[in-house]
A and B are shown apart, each in its own frame.
Chain A
């Protein structure tokens, strides 16, 4: 062992200097005194759990996994990961029906899109939701996202797949469950924009759920299975020269970081090839590889909400830089705060009130802002902000798609008409 490495701890929690900064930025601490806070749950508690696992504190289950503690830590302690892993270790027995339902995004989504009419009508009915609450514990006050009549994948295969080979450049798209089952329009916009700047799009072979919600719901084994399959698919695409772009910041974060830190998978070989669509587009634009032509009549006042996981990725600047390219778009930065939803967290009866209390200051800021549209890279923030405020919420890519003069953009990028 080389002496210069001494005391540069692999046991990352020991770099904690007990400064308490993380506790200042924990959204759960703000609203819930039963949560022991990131410092106590993370590095402090870890020492005791290492001494004896019975020192585990049930209050840890309140953690949102927003990772705002981590980005605040002056010593780079992976506080959120320590807590998430402790939760996984402590989990005993089978997950509840509710947690299975919420985290089985693919199974539920594929059934629900097939029966979307019935599912959406039911989800709109308060009686149905009350039933759901009493049966499984999904809070009835939460409107659940609507399911599309046709999944993105189905649309893509039917409408788009064939044409993709006529583009000289190509990327693979990790659409995630949300774009696939709930918001296929986002996927369609991605295809449209990428095509316009000269990129063909293809799907990964056998994409699975990224696993984020499974990890959060204590189904690590399932998450691991999905993750391994995803990595196989991603490796194949990368080997064929593709970058893998995603629209969801949480999926991107899972593929890049949660796989490595929470599941212990080695994804180093493909990490740099997994990227967020806004990052991909802005970098290509900055290098002059692609060009944008914007509609002259486009006007929009946008407030950007930096979702927890894009904050943790550190990548909000790509989305905002991209939005700033749009003439006629006035961009206002909302102070970076958690909206309280945290994936499936806010759906749960026991969390609903805390979740809404966390979001309240953000919702107030949004209402008070002069923006017509809130932009965010995260689908769960989108649901939550839309149902909690009067504003429309759009993915930055959707805004870009609306602002682009597609025809001229195609011309600029030398794309022949479809």
Chain B
């Protein structure tokens, strides 16, 4: 199969690159080994916990941070364009890269965020929470939402919270399964008359609260169920992230894939690249587990395979490696240096990844690869957890790669 550009990795990075390229007339395929980490989205895209100004300062540090590989001359343009890219795919986001806002975590912590899906509760500052009266609504039998923790977190900031639990027969039916009362399955039930009944029940529980919070269990395919719920309730209602897979995250993934295929892209799910063919410093073709004797050929390639979770990086007791091309990486050699003593400490492995030049091009045994661009979490130099920069790095590098391939800008001026 022949394409202009082949993208390996179907998560946020692959999709943003793919959409940008397909929109500019390229014939693009994304090969994705399973579903992506977008499924665990907190509801927010994070840019940098210390704020945009800190990224600008990062440039002066000449570190190998991916933001530096993107270049500050491009970065602001990409960040400014992101909201619109998502909007066109049907994902409404709020926020501004010049000023982080706060999102509310499943355990009631407040974390800095860049763009948040519009149904989630956000705050401009902690001060905004003080004195708020909040009703936290749990769904009976659902184990991946923690109303007590959410309430405790808000109360630490001076809110007055009340926790209530709501049950519906249709939800109780889900509990016939010992494991499958998950957010996604709840969202499938919460449509039509059931949604109305839930709204009716919740409305009856509101006393003097001005904000109602529920778990993010609305709308696997569109944001319509939540909008309908908000309308029915008639008060300020928002959702809070749940544990395990995220309904809005699944929706975001789905909408981005739909946008990509609408633009003519081929999204090949559940296949894994096994080897490649290179000629004179260029990748020529890829082979996969499922297409075996059929090569995928293209002029340009994008590697957006994610970090360890998505198997963009792999490890054995002897070392860490990039399994697809054997790209040169930045990682500690001895396994005792990969990890830190406590799980919540800064973990060195989070920062490991592929080394690239200023055009996001990697090397293999020191040799340049001219038509391969590396984006997202597989890149070295960023700690998405401790720096709070996961999505920002992915989006910025994905757009940078698309421009490198096209040779012109993908954003509107």
Contact = CB atoms under 8 A, between A and B. Distances in A.
Interface of B: 1-2, 29, 33-37, 39-40, 173-180, 182, 184-185, 188, 244-245, 250, 258, 261, 266, 268-272, 288, 290-294, 309-311, 316-318
Nearest to B269: A71
Given A19-B39, A23-B184, A74-B33, A314 B271 contact: yes
Contact of A37 (B39, B179, B269, B316): B179
A87 to B, nearest CB: 18
B39 A24 contact: yes
Given A7-B316, A34-B176, A311 B33 contact: no
16 contacts: A7-B317, A8-B316, A21-B245, A23-B182, A24-B39, A24-B184, A29-B185, A72-B270, A74-B310, A75-B311, A271-B292, A311-B270, A314-B271, A315-B291, A317-B268, A335-B258
A41 to B, nearest CB: 9
A71 B34 contact: yes
A181 B333 CA distance: 62
Contact of A70 (B178, B244, B270, B316): B270
A37 B180 contact: yes
Given A5-B316, A24-B39, A74-B309, 18 more contacts: A4-B316, A4-B318, A8-B316, A20-B182, A20-B245, A21-B34, A21-B39, A29-B180, A40-B180, A71-B34, A71-B269, A72-B269, A74-B34, A271-B292, A311-B269, A314-B270, A315-B291, A336-B269
B316 A39 contact: no
A20 B247 CA distance: 12
Contacts of A36: 177-180
B205 to A, nearest CB: 26
Given A286-B2, A315-B290, A33 B269 contact: no
A283 B294 contact: yes
Interface string A366-399: 0000000000000000000000000000000000
Contacts of A4: 316, 318
A299 B316 CA distance: 56
Contacts of B29: 317
Nearest to B316: A4
A63 to B, nearest CB: 13
A315 B33 CA distance: 14
A73 interface: yes
B292 A30 contact: no
A159 interface: no
A76 B273 CA distance: 12
A6 B319 CA distance: 11
A321 interface: yes
A3 interface: yes
Interface string A27-65: 001100111110110000000000000000000000000
Nearest to B261: A333
B177 A37 contact: yes
A22 to B, nearest CB: 9
A283 B1 CA distance: 8
B245 A19 contact: yes
Contacts of B1: 286, 317, 321
Closest CB pairs A-B (n = 5): A71-B270, A314-B290, A74-B34, A33-B176, A33-B177
A17 interface: yes
Contacts of A317: 1, 29, 266, 268
A218 to B, nearest CB: 24
Contacts of A311: 269-270
Contacts of B177: 29, 33-37
A155 B292 CA distance: 34
